Structure 1
Amino acid sequence: MSTSTRAALLVCPASGKGRAARMAGTVAERLRAVVDRLDLHVARTAEGTAAAARRAVDDGVDVLVVLGGDGGAHLAVQACAESPTALAVVPAGTGNDLATALGTTSVDDVVTALREGTRADYDLGRVENGPWFATVLCAGFDSAVNERANAMRWPAGPRRYDLAILAELAALRPRRLVVETEDDVLELDALLVAVGNTTSYGGGIPVCPDASVTDGLFDLTVVRAAPRRTLLRMLPTLRTGRHVDHPAVQTLRARSARLSGPSWVAYADGERLSGMPLTTTCVPGALTAVIGAGGAAVTGAG
């Protein structure tokens, strides 16, 4: 990449239980070898991360590199969307779904992509009167797990989510859902709906296995009401993407979707939204991304 490149490194030190903080010095050193100037920002809160990302983009950096997890990446997307600043992600969180979609699973991948100038224009989802999202917007069972886990004080780490899943399975009840797209209207009792810009959420679960970040469309996965035992049998297939073959699962493709339900809570990129009903639209090419060999739509040197 040309020596005129300006980059900013945004460190989210709490990500990965302090993993980002431990990596920061090494990552900064590696990045300085492939850019002309590197500004360093350390943000210890979500508000600080959002403000630092906005400052970097407003300052006109060519690349904003986030060292953190999906939460930090989500906040950086808000600043980089529809701007000339490219986003790069060095994964240091627990899920790292956006980094996986970008094909940057390590600092080595980011350094190589910066050196070679490998970038692509990726679609983003935008919630009306709400945020941008890069990966998956979901509501239903998985959002209820998030809600329960966030309210729990014990235990720490992944065990909290394991217990939340068990508790939500025990309390599982279908809820009325209406999904409206430009071509379809579904009104049904459902357990889950996912609107995928990328394929995966939750640390690599391909809930929308055929989603593409470059086709200008969302992939929607809707799980209809089914007995608890059916869901238990279906859960393992989520890891392989084979759940879409189940009769209780319906898939759609759309440019926009309106979701409504009387008691549904929605999350996007793992972050809680203000509530439903909501409308979200796929915005083609809204994000310029620095991508590794595993990322989609490699456009070559820039």
Structure 2
Amino acid sequence: MLAVTAHDHVPPGPVAVLANPTAGRGRHRGLLPRLLDRLAHAARPVRLLEATGPAEAEAACRAAVADGAGALVAVGGDGTVHRALQAVAGTAVPFGPVPAGTGNDFAVETGFPADPLAAVAVIVDALRAGRTRSVDLARLTAADGTERWYGAVLAAGFDAIVNERANRMRWPRGPRRYDLAILVELARLRPRRYRLSLDGEPQEVDAVLVAVGNAASYGGGMRICPDADPTDGLLDVVVGGRFDRRTLLRVKPRIYRGTHVTHPLVRTYRARTVELSAEGITTYVDGERAFDLPVRVSAVPAAVRLLR
């Protein structure tokens, strides 16, 4: 059961909406006019933000918050949510994710319906009632001090390596590129030496899977950190050790149920602050490319106010 801190105030101002028409391969593209129409039932002006790419989307969200938006709503998947979170984290401006992407892990894990229209109904009800509920975020800090927020999971193992290869490939297009990247990286699979510090306690591990979760799932429902609770002020760390290819392929499907954590090669930890380093790894957070290791991750309690 998700525990939350409730508030009874939503700032005045219009509802700014960030929408990604390509999210979920565009399957909800035609739904946007209905979603905007239903948001207008909150009796506030609705302002659709203009952006043609991720950097513009993030900048538009930051500008909307700076210009006095009373709330920010993101229509899309985890990538769209991730851009919006950079603008509202640590502010009094409440946030509403409308799950319309391939992966909607943050929205679902924080209690929003998986159906976009149902999620908008929850957001409108919260706006009309002036109700918000706070949940935690994770603050990611790079070696040079650059910071980003994330809501779901940081991947720093095999999945991050696959994402990095897929993003470098120009062929094939679509999901087959990711499938090919998996095959290439499976052929190259080897444990890597990670240096971890959990609330200042150092250790070294050889691993192929490393995840730091504010919430339980990533990748569209893969429960990599199954016990993570985005309201407990803690991060869940899951480390999959010296898996060979055959064992990894057997264990990987269990991640959807979260039962992989019972495997003898998997270790779980919980901490407020996690420092992580390894050679040649680029991290991914909420499915988005983030920083090269080393990084520091801190749990920030009640960092965002949700419209639910």
Distance in structure 2 (CA, Å) of the matches to 1:15 and 1:35: 27
Structure 1 contact 218–253 (Cα < 8 Å) conserved: yes
- 2:125 aligns with one of 115, 134, 138: 115
Question: What residue in structure 2 maps to residue 227 of structure 1?
Answer: 244
Q: Work out the CA distance in 1 between the residues paired with 2:99 and 2:258.
A: 23
Which residue matches 1:51? 59
Deviation per residue, 1:245-281 (Å, 9 max, x gap): 0110000000000001122221111111231111110
**Which structure 2 residue ranges, 5 or more long, are not aligned?**
1-8
2:297 matched residue in structure 1: 280
1:133 CA displacement:
0.7
CA RMSD of superposed structures (Å)? 1.9
User: Residue in 2 aligned with 1:195?
Assistant: 212
Q: What does 1:57-206 correspond to in 2, within 5 Å?
A: 57-104=65-112, 105=114, 106-116=116-126, 117=129, 118-128=131-141, 129-182=146-199, 184-206=201-223
Secondary structure in 1 aligned to 2:303? strand
Pairing 1:210-289 to 2, within 5 Å after superposition: 210-289=227-306
1:133 maps to a residue whose letter is: Y
CA distance in 1, matches of 2:135, 2:179: 33
User: Does the CA-based 8 Å contact 1:193-1:221 persist in structure 2?
Assistant: yes
| Residues 4/177 of structure 1: CA separation in 2 closer, same or farther (3 Å cut) | closer
Residue pairs, 1:7-18, within 5 angstroms: 7-18=15-26
1:11 touches 1:21 (CA, 8 Å); kept in 2?
A: no
Deviation at 1:21, TM superposition (A): 3.8
SS of structure 1 residue aligned to 2:166:
helix
Pair 1:184–1:251, CA change in 2 (3 A): farther
Q: 1:20, CA displacement in angstroms?
A: 5.1
Matched letter for residue 160 of structure 2: S
1:285 shift after superposition: 0.4
How many equivalent residue pairs? 291
- Structure 1 length as normaliser, TM-score? 0.90
User: CA 1:220/1:3 → structure 2, altered by over 3 Å: closer, same or farther?
Assistant: closer
Q: CA deviation at 1:108?
A: 1.9
Question: Residues 18 and 254 from structure 1, CA distance in 2 versus in 1: closer, same or farther, beyond 3 angstroms?
Answer: same
